[in-house]
Chains A and B, each alone.
Chain A
């Protein structure tokens, strides 16, 4: 595609429910990143994929968070048993490969946990 695509753009859920956020990177980009941005804050790194493996999961805040990637395409970030503190914008970025460090961001998914 022309850019990084994320869906849904907005998600409202009730505390305790599971949510899935989707990211479709730029075609041909092998590296994919998930970040979280709380209101008024910078971006926090969550997880990095090179192809479909995740060599760096160091930013995942708890075991309620997990992510998968199919080949070198779509990635899904899953948050189980959502909590109010999970409310944030979840941003996905991709780059051409691991050594190409310019990352291009999607528009994000705004998650609100009531």
Chain B
């Protein structure tokens, strides 16, 4: 079992719709959770971080965390063609792992159709 799992997609949504991206993780000791956006040929760009159960909203983005279910999601409202990218879920064990390295999923490719 991979430590961080994502559906590879592509997830195709029409412009203006809500895109829902999901991620599960295996280590219950994980402390911090991140969503990175990566355009083709570019480096990952942090778009959301979440540390406690519940929802965290930032503009059109909402991250949701459920530690009991070991599940983290990203909702993108009013999706735009410019949101088309690969979204990487990353998990950090924090205090349980002295290096604070990020464990990444393989990413979900999102395609927003005009």
Contact = CB atoms under 8 A, between A and B. Distances in A.
A and B co-occur in one complex: yes
Interface of A: 31, 33, 35, 40-45, 48, 55-56, 58-59, 91, 93, 95, 98-99, 101-108
A3 B57 CA distance: 26
Interface residues of B, number: 25
Given A43-B88, A43-B104, A102-B49, A48 B43 contact: no
Given A42-B106, A42-B107, A101 B100 contact: yes
A59 to B, nearest CB: 7
Given A43-B88, A55-B98, A105 B43 contact: yes
B28 interface: no
Contact of A105 (B4, B44, B49, B100): B44
B90 to A, nearest CB: 8
A107 to B, nearest CB: 5
B99 interface: yes
Given A42-B106, A101-B94, A107 B100 contact: no
A33 B101 contact: yes
26 contacts: A31-B100, A33-B101, A33-B102, A41-B107, A42-B4, A42-B104, A42-B105, A42-B106, A44-B104, A45-B103, A48-B101, A55-B98, A55-B99, A56-B99, A58-B99, A91-B43, A98-B98, A98-B100, A99-B100, A101-B94, A101-B100, A102-B34, A102-B46, A102-B49, A105-B43, A105-B45
Contact of A108 (B34, B43, B45, B49): B43
A103 B43 contact: no
Contacts of A35: 102, 104
Interface in B16-50: 32, 34, 36, 42-46, 49
B84 interface: no
A102 B44 CA distance: 12
Nearest to B92: A101
B100 A48 contact: yes
Given A42-B88, A42-B105, A95 B44 contact: no
Given A31-B100, A42-B105, A105-B36, 18 more contacts: A35-B102, A35-B104, A41-B106, A42-B4, A42-B6, A42-B88, A43-B102, A45-B101, A45-B103, A48-B101, A56-B101, A93-B102, A101-B92, A103-B102, A104-B46, A105-B45, A106-B43, A108-B43
